Amino acid sequence: MSEIFKAIILYFIFPGFLFTAVAGLLSTWIDRKVTARLQWRVGPPWFQPFADIIKLLGKEMIVPEGVSAFRFVLIPVLGLAAITLVSTMLWMVVIGGSSFTGDLIVVLCLLIVPSISVILGGSVSKNPLSALGTSREMKLILSCELPFLISVFTVIMRSGSILLVSITEYQASHGAIAGNLSCLLAFAVALICVQAILGYVPFDIPDAEQEIEAGPYIEYSGPAFAVFKLTRAMMLFVLPVFLITIFLGGINVMTWQSVGWFVLKYVLILTAIILIKNTNPRLRIDQATRFFWGPVTIVALIALMLQFIGVKI
């Protein structure tokens, strides 16, 4: 029992939730600050994302009439729990070098839970705009999951394993997986899919503020809405870390040099996400679907075929 309690504190509470939450909120501040500068605005202070969460936690939560309060509150918590578990599993690999069979598959399953929680939350709120946003969220996830899974399967073929530890060990001896053409294409596909999973422009279709206000979140307020915002902030940290783990050599916290390389990789991925967000107009949901099931999936399949036939360049 003491070992279980120690593991919960060592992996789940501190790095899995607290560190990831802080890093995610700081990442959202960087996003907002850079976006503001690009628009010739000052932008918020560094503590603004933390103040927003604290403010929402102190506000009244209004539950729509005829909706189960228990389900209404539980749904956002499910998304937060899922992304915390993904973060915990990644930190277990980084800190302890521990893994279990098929943990990469478990991570992929858990990564879709926050989107499912958004869909469920929008469905129970009984608002027409929320229903529209829910429909868009569902179509967007169905569109981007296929190329995302194909890109990850390319990594599995390259490393020959579905264990995160084995993938990082393979990269330690053979170099970053994204170092050859097939996996570089797969990494580009995964990065575009991450943009959609995060709900960032040009894929902010489900909660388009200018069209449907906040979409699935329109009836959420107070602590429940704070949980949704915190989940999205944590995803902004966890998803790039996931890409670094399986594509860009993994993370080694044993030396300051390795930590520095990780920070550089994360900053580059975050910069790419912010640049895509600020240089593209919002797509319609039909355009996004055609984009993911067309060019993006084709590139992902090309990467998979190149890996299958053993192209080394």
Residue boundaries of the structural domains of the chain? 2-309
C-alpha distances in angstroms, 287 versus 78, 98, 210?
Answer: 30, 42, 18
Please tell me the total number of residues recorded for the chain in this structure.
Answer: 313
pLDDT at residue number 311? 60
What SS3 state is found at 284?
coil
Q: What is the mean pLDDT of each run of 10 residues along the chain (313 residues)?
A: 59 82 96 92 94 94 86 93 93 77 90 94 85 91 95 93 90 80 93 95 86 82 94 96 92 78 94 93 93 96 89 58
What SS3 state is found at 170?
helix
Q: What is the CA radius of gyration of the chain?
A: 19
Q: How far apart are the first and last CA of the chain?
A: 50
pLDDT at residue number 62? 87
CA distance 237 to 27: 7
Q: Which residues of 135-151 are buried (b: 16+ CB within 10 A; e: fewer)?
A: bbbbbbbebbbbbbebb
List the one residue out of 81, 87, 85 whose CA is nearest residue 24.
87
pLDDT at residue number 208? 77
CA distance 33 to 239: 20
List the one residue out of 220, 194, 200, 225 whose CA is nearest residue 123.
220
* 280 φ/ψ angles, rounded to the nearest 5 degrees: -135, 145
User: How many C-alpha atoms does 164 have within 13 Å on its Cβ side?
Assistant: 28
The amino acid at 128:
P
pLDDT at residue number 2? 54
